[in-house]
Structure formats: structure tokens, C-alpha cells
Amino acid sequence: MNYKIFVTRDIPDDGLKMLRQLKNVVLDIYPGEKAIPRKELLKRVKGADIILSILTEKIDKQVFDAAGPQLKMIANFAVGFDNVDVKEAKKRGILVTNTPHENVCETVAEHTIALIFALAHRITEADRFTRAGRYECWGPKMMLGTDLWKKTVGVIGAGRIGGAVLKRLADGFDVKVIYNDMKKNPIFEKATGAKYRTLDQLLKEADFVSLHVPLCTATKHLISTRELKLMKPTAFIINTARGPIIDEKALLKALASKQIAGAGLDVFECEPMIDCDPRDNLELRKMENVVLTPHTASATIEARQAMSRVAAENIIAFIKGKTPPNVCLG
């Protein structure tokens, strides 16, 4: 049997090389860097046995219908899989996989820590200040930031990325580490030295709050007006998970009023838009106490090639009649 695999965007080549070595595979890759238009996606998936999807594509009932009854697998090129209707896929007997990898966890943890330092030491703000020619002489009160040393860092989500963030900061910068999850996690505590807190306790106590939970019904707007009011006015929030975990409107108001000190955001609620409502005159891009990156927390050569290989490994296992190593259960 030949398998037609439609790839919704060109991906790093390690995984594609693995798939091209298979004699019974035909690859159809949508070219370019930009997301495939919805109309084109529905057209191109027709007849596909497997879709290798990117997190920017919503893979739902409409896509399943457009592909046809022969569609048997969605290999999602992402750790998260909130872009795929896993329940509908399960009803139709369509397998869904994702691409977790140790390298990805380490990369996202590094990016999270980079955002923490950028906020604490006002790195991007100072860069803009210097480039604009505003640096005229050194001053003892110019661009004062805050130390990370001895501060309290709290992560929401006791997974591998959150654990990597806490362990590296605790080992290297003598910070106090705390965490919140659905329940206490003794394994996580032993690995990181972190102490469990309720969500409210963590928000009140932490100087830096970092989000590492998947996006689902329970976590959408997990951080909103009430939660932001619990944070210290000197505290920062960092999100490298999914944009809708934070209520953007509430965050904008908290930042504008200096209810919190700042935010480091790699993801956005209405992504790729940076602001959901451009009419409210509260633009993240204009706020000096915000550091923004364009969903690039996992954007290293090593991490993205690892994701490419994992996607291919999932597909190859499926084609060989084996259970792929990374099946999404929803």
C-alpha cells in the first residue's frame, strides 16, 4: 500500500529525509514559510492518508471531511495539540500524535529563562534606549532593574519544561522555587526542590510567574483579572505555553496600570495578531514593560530538527503497523 502524506508547511529536513527513504510513501509538501490558506488546506488534503500538520492549522471535522475516509493519522508538528480536534479524530478512528522531545523542553526552558532575565534587567528596553541615541552619560539611577538572585520563581504546570526552568534557576541563581499543578507531585519536588503552592498562594508569593500548562477548557483564561490582582506590583509574568491561558484584556489593563511590573510573552491570545482588539488603545507593542517574541521559544536548529525526527518516527511506526511513541489521548 502506498501512503500519501500531506505536509501543511515545509519543516526541517531530518524527518523529511527519513520519510523519503520509505518506498511506499508519496510526500506532498505545501511550500513556503507562511501558513497555508484555509481554502488551500481543504483542497490539498484530499486523498491524504496521513497529514503532518503544523500548530497554526486547525485540524477539525471540516478537514477530516475534505481529506476523505482513507485519512488515518494526524502527525502534529508541535508538543501541544490544541489545534487538532482529538475527540472527533478518535470517533473516526484517526490517530493523532505530537512531537515532545527532551531537546524541545530544554530549548523552551532556556527561552523562558531568557525572558526572565530580559525583564529583570530591562534588556530590550535598554537596547531600544541606546539605539535611539538617548544614552548621554552613565547615571546611578538610569535603567534600574531588579536582581533574580534570592527571588522567588513560581511555575504553573509541573511538567518537564517547568521543571527544567526551576532546576536551572535554583542551581545557578539561588532562587526560591515554588510550583502549582492539579495536585502535589513528589517526583517533581524531588527533581527540582520546589515546594507546592495553591494557585492563589503562588501568585501572591512569586516574583516571577511562568506558565507551563497545556491549553484546554480548564486552562483558558487561567490568569485573568482576579489572578493578576493577587500578584505583587513588582512581579513579572512569563508565558511560553499558549496565548489564551492569559486573558489578554485583563493583562493589558494590569500592565497599563502597573498592577504588575511586566510580562514576557512568546504566545498571544489571538495569534498571530499581537493585540486582539486594536481599538482599545492598549497595545502590547508600545509597552516598555513587556518583552515580546514571535512564538519562537522552541526555535533552535537542534529542537526543530528533533521535532521533525519525532514526527517522522511517529509516522513510520504507524505505517509499519506499530503504535507510534507519541499518541495524543486528548
Is residue 161 within 8 A of residue 188, CB to CB? The reply is no
Strand partners, 84: 59
Q: What angle do CA 239, 224, 110 make, to 5 degrees?
A: 10
Alpha helices in the chain (DSSP H): 13-20, 38-44, 61-67, 86-91, 102-120, 123-131, 160-173, 186-192, 199-205, 225-230, 248-256, 301-319
Which residues are catalytically annotated? Answer: 242, 271, 295
Is residue 197 within 8 A of residue 180, CB to CB? The reply is yes
- Please give the Cα distance from 78 to 94 (Å, whole number): 18
What phi, psi does 228 have (nearest 5°)? -65, -35
